[in-house]
Amino acid sequence: MTGLEHSLVELIRRTSAEIPDDVQAAILASLEREKKGTIAESAMKIIEQNIQLAKQKSQPICQDTGSIIFYVDCPVGFDQITFEEAAKNAVRISTKKGFLRQNSVDSLSGVNDGTNVGPGSPTIHFHQHRQPETEVRLVLKGGGCENVGAQYSLPAEKLKANRDLDGCRKAILDAVLQAQGKGCGPGILGVCIGGDRATGYEFSKQQFLRRLDDRNPNAELDRLEQDILNTANELGIGPMGFGGKTTLLGVKIGAANRLPASFFVSISYMCWAYRRQGVRLSAAGDIEEWLY
């Protein structure tokens, strides 16, 4: 194993077994908020215990270890091909060690070759920056919650949603309503207003790189984020859709330019098993710092 592969295996292990601090804090806060003695409270308690147990045993938090999505910020002149090879190897090794489930299926033949490496798996997004360091972030995105993601094309007559922020609000809240009971809530929404069908979903997932306790620098989007979070938590959907106070743990919204002819609102739903970590790497590929 090269130094880089070693670091990436450790990144995968930690992402799969340990919930980042900001998510942990949000889960504990919601456990406090739920009424004592309700099934919502006991669901949150089990979730909390599960997080502790996974960390202790260094085992996957959830058996669905999800789509493997890397985001790499790298300096000019960075060797992307070597990185991609190292990432694939790290995924193979992590799968053998049980940090990842054998989770990737050939869509035509239905065959699961047990490596988690194939077309589109893992997915790697590279982004150059004019700084010397390399930062690698990883999101493991579960399938149950991916299935309840939704893309709305405005205007949406049925929802009375026009091409404005209020229309976006209606679309996003409709997605919350429809997702209930599925996707293992309480959830986190990543939303992109605008873009095309592909970039809309892509940008919506990038929102999951933000910390849950950050605030949106754009005042309008910040208001919308807070409003959606509060409104969703007033609907009484609750953990697992059992009823209760915590329907969402967070809402993160970004905007991308659109064509005059289209207006998409793309919503990715993340389950409570919100697995996201990141590392800053030295030139030799060693881990210098954890990012979350």
Residues near other proteins, by CB under 8 A: 39, 42-43, 46-47, 49-50, 53-54, 57, 59-64, 98, 101, 142, 144, 147, 160, 170, 173, 177, 180-182, 184, 231, 234-238, 240-243, 271-273
Exposed (0-12), middle (13-18) or buried (19+): which is 284, by Cβ within 10 Å? exposed
- Please tell me the count of residues contacting ligand SF4 according to CB under 6 A: 11
Name the minimum Å distance from CB 274 to ligand SF4.
9
241 binds, among ligand SF4, other proteins, none (CB under 5 to 8 A by kind): other proteins
Name the minimum Å distance from CB 57 to other proteins.
7
Residue 244: partners with Cβ closer than 8 Å, 6 or more residues away? 34, 35, 38, 39, 40, 41, 43, 236, 237, 238
> Which residues are bridge partners to 266 per DSSP?
151, 192
170 binds, among ligand SF4, other proteins, none (CB under 5 to 8 A by kind): other proteins
Q: Which of residues 7-66 bind ligand SF4 (CB under 6 A)?
A: 62, 64, 66
66 binds, among ligand SF4, other proteins, none (CB under 5 to 8 A by kind): ligand SF4
Task: Give the number of other CB atoms < 10 A from CB of residue 158.
Answer: 8
Residue nearest to ligand SF4 (CB): 142
Name the minimum Å distance from CB 16 to other proteins.
11
Q: How many C-alpha atoms does 177 have within 13 Å on its Cβ side? A: 9
Residue 150: partners with Cβ closer than 8 Å, 6 or more residues away? 174, 175, 178, 179, 266, 267
- What does the alpha-carbon distance between residue 154 and residue 156 come to, in Å, rounded to a whole number? 5
Name the minimum Å distance from CB 140 to ligand SF4.
8
Q: Which of residues 217-276 bind ligand SF4 (CB under 6 A)?
A: 271, 273
Q: Which is nearer to other proteins, 136 or 188 (CB)?
A: 188
75 binds, among ligand SF4, other proteins, none (CB under 5 to 8 A by kind): none
The alpha carbon of 6 is separated from its chain's Cα centroid by a whole number of angstroms, namely 24
Residue 34, classed as helix, strand or coil, is coil
- Single out the residue of 190, 193, 171 nearest to residue 248, CA to CA: 190
Q: Which of residues 115-174 bind ligand SF4 (CB under 6 A)?
A: 142-145
231 binds, among ligand SF4, other proteins, none (CB under 5 to 8 A by kind): other proteins
Output the CA angle 257-262-263, nearest 5 degrees. Answer: 70
Site residues for ligand SF4 per CB under 6 A: 62, 64, 66, 142-145, 183-184, 271, 273
